Structure 1
Amino acid sequence: MRNFTTRCIQGLGVAALALGLSTAMAADKPTIKIGYVNGWDDSVAATFVAGQILEDKLGYTVELKPVEPAIMWQGVARGDLDATLSAWLPATHGEYYAKLKDKVSVLGSNYKGAKIGLIVPDYVAAKSIADLNTYAKDFDGKITGIDAGAGVMRRTEDAIKQYNLSDIKLMPSSGPAMATALTRAEKNKEAIVVTGWIPHWMFAKWNLRFLEDPQKVFGDDEHVDTVINPVLATSAVDATAFLGKFSWSGEEVGAVMLAIREGAKPEDAAKDWIAKNPERVAGWLQ
C-alpha cells in the first residue's frame, strides 16, 4: 500500500503526508497479547504460528504469554490477555468456561478431534483398555504416565477401576519422561502403553493409536477453541477475523510440534511452516 501511494501521489510534500498517515495507522493497531499453556506442545505450535501471521501479514505487535490454564482463562476474561488458541472444550477446560463464559467470546475451533486416553504403538496386540489385563506381562504390568494430578492421569485411575485392571499399575512421571520411554520402546519395538493426547508431536513421528474405550472413561472427542476477550472484536477487527478462520489438521500442527521437538525454536518452526504453506495462510486471511 505504501509503495502504491508513493508512486501515485505527486509531490514530495503529499507523499510524505501519505507516508505519515500510513505509519500512524500502523501505530493505532493495539498490541495483541495471546496466552498459551506452558508446556503444551500443541498450544505452543498453534500460538506461535498464529502470532507470526498476525505480525508478518497483518502488521500487529504480538506478545505471547506462557501461563497455566486457570491464569490463561482468567487473563482473557479480565482483558489482561486478548486471546488464547488453547481452550480444550467441552471437558478439559469446561469448568473454566462455565465460570467465565459471560466474559469471553468463543470464535470457533482451531483443531477438531482432540482427545485424551491410553496410547500404544500400532504394533501392540492390545486393541482396547480391557485387553490390558490379558497382555499385562507385555507391558510389565504398568502404564507409563505423566505428571501426577493431570487430567489424563485422573481419568486413567478411573479406567483402572472401571475396567478392573487388577494386574496394571499407573506409573507417574512427566511429559518428557513419558516421551523418552515411548522413544525407547519404539526403537526396540517393545510393547508400551502411555497416557497421552492428540494433537501431539508423537503422532507425527510414529504410528500410534488410542486403545478403545467403550465405557467412555476418557470421554468423547474434544475440540481446541480460540477464545478472545470481547473487546478485541472491535479493537482489532481483521485480527479477530483471522483468528476465527484459523483452523488446521493433526498433520499440520504435528509438523510444527515435531520441528520444535527436534530442536527448532518455536518462532523459527512457525516461520518455516508459514513459508511452506502460503495457500493455507492466504485462506485464513481472506
Structure 2
Amino acid sequence: IVWLNVYDYYSWQSDNFHNGRFYTKQPQCVDIPADLRLCHNVGYKKMRLPNLLDHETMPEVKQQAGSWVPLLAKRCHADTQVFLCSLFAPVCLDRPIYPCRSLCEAVRDSCAPVMETYGFPWPEMLTCDKFPIDNDLCIPMQFTGNHATLPPVSKVCPPCDNELKADNIMEHYCASDFALKMKIKEVKKEKGDRKLIAAQKKKKVLKQGVLRKKDLKKLTLYIKNGANCPCSQLDSLGSNFLIMGRKVDQQLLLMSIHKWDKKSKELKFAIKYMKSHQCPTYHTVFQ
C-alpha cells in the first residue's frame, strides 16, 4: 500500500489519481451494503470507492473488511469501528478524510494486545504515524476521556469471551484454521500462556484445515498471554467442547471455546450450517 506522506486534500470527484497511483475507475459515492458488516451501522449511509486502503471494488472491500468483524465483538476500544470504517468505508465528502493519528494510537493501544492473543500483530497498513496529526482535516476520537483507552469491562480471556450464538460461532469458524468437538484432559500455565491438553478420546473434526494426523494425536492448544485471565468454560472439564483455533509459528492458538451444549439451538444450527457454508477467503490481518 502506497501512502501519502503529505496529506493533500483535493476534490477527488474530478480526479482519479490518488495515493500515487491511477485508478481505472473514477472515485464514486456508493451505498454501504448491508452485507458489509464491519461498517453497515457505522452512522452514515454512503462511502467513497476506491476507499483509503486502495480497495477499488466492493467485493474486495467486503473480503478485506470481513476479517476485522471479530475484533469489533471484542469491544477492545469504543472507537474501533469508527477508526476501521474511516479507512474501509470512508464517508462520502469532496475530499478524503483520514483518521487522526491519536485515534489510531488509542485503538491500537487497546486492541493490539487482543490481536496478539490470536497471533496477529498490528498490521503494517495501519501504522499510526502514517496518519495526520490532529487537526480539522482528520477524524478525531469520538469517545474522549480516560475511559476510551481503558481495557473493556470484561477481563475474560478473549477466546473465552464469546456468546453461544450461531453467527458468532460461524465468524470464528471462518476465521479459524481448524474446528473440533473434543474433551480437554488438563489445563496448565506455561510462560504466561495457558496450555490446554486434549483428552486422548476420539475427537470429531469439523474443519481439519492445517491439522495433521500427528497434531490430532497429541493435541495441545494455547491461550496466548492467558495464564491469569478468567475462562469460565475451563472451570470444569467434564463436558465436550467446541474448539476453534489457528496455527501460528508451529503453535496451535485457541480462537474460541464453547461448552458443547446439546440443548442449544444456536449450536445445532451452526454445526449444521458448517457442512454447506462457504467461508470468504479472508486477508491475513485479523482473520
Q: TM-score, normalised by structure 2?
A: 0.28
Q: Indicate the structure with greater helix content.
A: 1
Which gives a bigger RCO, structure 1 or 2 (Cα 8 Å, sep 6+)?
1
Higher Rg:
1
Q: TM-score, normalised by structure 1?
A: 0.28
